[in-house]
């Protein structure tokens, strides 16, 4: 079994799309006007969807996490791409970088169990 898709709801679809494409490096697979954008995460989908006004925001400081796999030799380039996008690193381990997306979701990139090059 594998993850089919993740659905992230947002009030600013364009901003969230820029984050996941420019800072994380996911590719756009499909766009549905201003309602949703589907991104490729290594064969799983990340669906960015416009949220309704009544939906609650992401809980501040939540430790819930989505973490994307990166190659061990991609750490330096990923860190540089995040810095260029103005993304602050919230925490790190020997394998993983943790940060927040524009809506406050905790996101990570990790090469575990392989140490960075």
Range 85-88, long-range pairs (CB < 8 A, 24+ positions): 85/19, 85/22, 85/23, 87/19, 87/23
Token pair for residue 115? 């140490």
Which domains does the chain show, CATH number per domain? 5-110 (3.10.180.10)
**Quick one: tokens of 71?**
């190659």
The yes-or-no verdict on residue 117 having pLDDT over 90 is: no
Query: pLDDT class for 65, splitting at 50, 70, 90?
Result: very high
Q: Kindly report the pTM of this predicted structure.
A: 0.92
Model confidence pLDDT, tens digit, residues 68-110: 999 999 999 999 999 999 999 999 999 999 999 999 999 999 9
Q: What is the DSSP string of 38-93?
A: EEEETTEEEEEEEPPTTSPPPPTT---EEEEE--GGGHHHHHHHHHHTTPPP-EE-
Which pLDDT tens digit goes with each residue over 24-48?
999 999 999 889 999 999 999 999 9
pLDDT at 69 (0 to 100)? 95
**What's the pLDDT at 60?**
87
State the average pLDDT over residues 38-63: 94
Kindly state the tokens that stand for 16.
Answer: 């969230």
């Amino acid at each position: 079994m594998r993850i089919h898709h993740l659905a992230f709801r947002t009030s600013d679809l364009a901003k969230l799309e820029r984050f996941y494409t420019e800072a994380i490096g996911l590719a756009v697979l499909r766009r549905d006007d201003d309602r949703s954008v589907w991104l490729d995460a290594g064969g799983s989908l990340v669906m960015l969807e416009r949220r309704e006004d009544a939906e609650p925001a992401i809980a501040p400081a939540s430790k819930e996490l989505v973490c994307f796999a990166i190659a061990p030799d991609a750490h330096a380039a990923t860190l540089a791409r995040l810095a260029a996008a103005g993304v602050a690193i919230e925490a790190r381990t020997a394998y993983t970088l943790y940060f927040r997306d524009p809506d406050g979701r905790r996101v990570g990139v990790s090469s575990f169990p392989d140490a960075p090059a």
